[in-house]
């Protein structure tokens, strides 16, 4: 009897051990399954709560369909986002996807932070559906695709449709027409003016736009401070003519305090009923929709200059893969999802951007006002030419400050247009020598 009990006890112990081992195997299997989930890290630059929410929405859709991948979104405060990204890249912190902007791509490439995406894009079904500008911008710096743009920031003309209707006016097609119409709509006693002038921070970008439109095809669009023959744009007589015209726009059709206006002031004075015309990016659309009554405003293509063309910075940003990513296959799976036709177009709609897909032109959202003007310009890249400023130059930042200061002196008759142009020309010739 005792021996039977011993045998039975032994059997029970043995079964318990087998069960425990089995459970251990199952636990190990479960652990192994958890370990197979790959986390890819993504950092954005142009952060805002609303934008981050949209990205997280798309990330959630991806993770639902890809249980083996988790996407961690890093969203630094906007004011120091670029500095944060640089620190992460320099330290080779775990990072797989980085937001790349037109003025950061050269720096990232010089430091070998970005992966060449050409081989990934060869078999990507979205490639043939992209607008030409997206394909060009993807390879604009470095000659290979180090980023895929997610949208464009392109200026257009905003105008008071109700004021124009009162006067029986049509939107201007040229800078001269903008000036002439602005004169008709300027009435200082009523605090009405023709144009939202930008004389404060980054006013130089509008002055150079007028210079570009006046010079025309001789501009080196890849570094638009220079002409194709190696001179600066400020060496040309046309630059003086453009600056004189720019000065007339301030004196004759703009509020006097616009000499200090930046982005916020020029937009606010448009929607509040002080100015009739404004040239700005598509992000203004949401502000106008919120602040203005339907039908009181509209958009039109940019005015062209004596050259018959319009030249302006085609601002863009996109997503790139870090060169040192340890999860490149999984990263591309997410990138191709984030940038597919559905998600990319949705992102552009929510962020007031010009989309990267050809089909967007047939989307009712973009076919009608206020995006119609933007899409019209995108359809004529030979007439509305995007230019690249020398963002990668060390001298670019100091020049913006210097140029803004000189422009104010010029507008206040403390500096001649000739002296201003000469000073800027000397600056960029010196920059070229120091490269």
Same domain (yes/no): 145, 288: no
Distance (Å, rounded) from C-alpha 277 to C-alpha 410? 23
DSSP percent split of the chain into helix, strand, coil, nearest 5: 55, 15, 30
CA distance 419 to 219: 21
The tally of domains found in the chain comes to 2
Q: Does 270 lie in the same domain as 161? A: yes
Residue 327 CB-half CA count within 13 A: 20
User: Within this chain, do residues 301 and 322 fall inside the same structural domain, yes or no?
Assistant: no
Q: Distances from the Cα of 352 to the Cαs of 48, 255, 262, in angstroms? A: 13, 28, 20
Q: Are 194 and 177 in contact (CB under 8 A)?
A: no
Residue 162: phi and psi, rounded to 5, are -70, -40
Beta-strand runs (E) in 271-337: 275-280, 298-300, 310-313, 315-321
Q: What is the pLDDT of residue 352?
A: 83
Q: What is the domain extent for residue 63?
A: 37-152+315-374
Task: Report CA dihedral (283, 284, 285, 289) to the nearest 10 degrees.
Answer: 130
Residue 343, helix vs strand vs coil: helix
pLDDT along the chain (435 residues), means of 10: 48 46 46 71 92 96 97 92 94 97 86 96 92 86 92 92 97 98 97 97 94 96 93 97 98 97 94 97 88 96 94 89 97 97 94 88 84 85 88 83 96 98 97 84
- pTM (two decimals): 0.75
Longest dimension (CA), the chain: 118
Shared domain for 135 and 200, answered yes or no, is no
For the chain, the straight-line distance linking the first and the last C-alpha, in angstroms and rounded, comes to 98
Claim to verify: residue 304 and residue 346 sit in the same structural domain: no
Residues 216 and 278 in one domain: yes
Q: What gap in Å lies between CA 155 and CA 153, rounded to an integer? A: 7
Are both 323 and 257 inside the same structural domain?
no
d(CA 95, CA 74): 10
Residue 247 lies in a domain: yes
* Closest to 350 in 3D by CA, of 335, 361, 365: 365
Q: For residues 361 and 41, what is the distance between their CA atoms, to the nearest angstrom?
A: 33
């Amino acid at each position: 009897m005792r021996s039977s009990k011993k045998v039975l006890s032994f059997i029970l112990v043995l079964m318990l051990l087998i069960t425990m081992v089995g459970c251990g195997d199952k636990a190990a299997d479960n652990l192994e399954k958890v370990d197979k989930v790959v986390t890819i890290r993504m950092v954005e630059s142009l952060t805002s709560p609303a934008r981050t929410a949209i990205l997280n929405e798309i990330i959630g859709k991806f993770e639902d369909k890809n249980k083996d991948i988790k996407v961690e979104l890093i969203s630094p405060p906007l004011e120091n986002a670029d500095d944060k990204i640089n620190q992460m890249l320099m330290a080779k912190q775990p990072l797989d996807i980085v937001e790349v902007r037109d003025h950061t791509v050269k720096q990232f490439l010089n430091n070998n932070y970005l992966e060449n995406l050409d081989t990934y894009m060869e078999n990507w079904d979205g490639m043939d559906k992209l607008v030409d500008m997206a394909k060009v911008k993807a390879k604009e710096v470095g000659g290979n695709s180090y980023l895929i743009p997610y949208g464009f920031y392109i200026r257009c003309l905003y105008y008071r449709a109700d004021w124009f209707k009162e006067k029986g006016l049509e939107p201007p097609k040229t800078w001269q027409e903008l000036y002439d119409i602005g004169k008709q709509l300027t009435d200082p006693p009523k605090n009405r003016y023709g144009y939202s002038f930008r004389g404060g921070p980054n006013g130089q970008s509008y002055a150079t736009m007028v210079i570009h439109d006046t010079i025309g095809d001789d501009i080196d669009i890849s570094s638009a401070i220079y002409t194709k023959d190696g001179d600066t744009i400020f060496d040309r007589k046309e630059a003086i003519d453009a600056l004189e015209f720019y000065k007339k726009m301030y004196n004759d059709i703009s509020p006097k305090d616009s000499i200090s206006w930046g982005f916020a002031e020029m937009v606010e004075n448009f929607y509040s009923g002080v100015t009739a015309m404004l040239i700005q990016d598509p992000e203004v659309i949401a502000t106008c929709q919120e602040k203005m009554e339907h039908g009181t405003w509209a958009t039109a293509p940019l005015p062209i200059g004596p050259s018959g063309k319009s030249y302006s910075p085609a601002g863009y940003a996109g997503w790139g893969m870090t060169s040192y990513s340890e999860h490149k296959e999984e990263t591309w799976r997410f990138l191709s999802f984030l940038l597919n036709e559905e998600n990319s177009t949705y992102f552009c709609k929510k962020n007031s951007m010009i989309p990267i897909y050809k089909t967007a032109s047939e989307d009712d959202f973009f076919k009608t006002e206020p995006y119609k003007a933007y899409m019209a310009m995108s359809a004529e890249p030979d007439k509305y030419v995007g230019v690249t400023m020398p963002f990668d130059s060390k001298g670019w930042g100091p020049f913006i400050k210097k140029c803004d200061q000189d422009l104010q002196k010029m507008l206040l008759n403390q500096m001649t247009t000739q002296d201003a142009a000469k000073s800027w020309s000397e600056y960029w010739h010196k920059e070229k020598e120091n490269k």
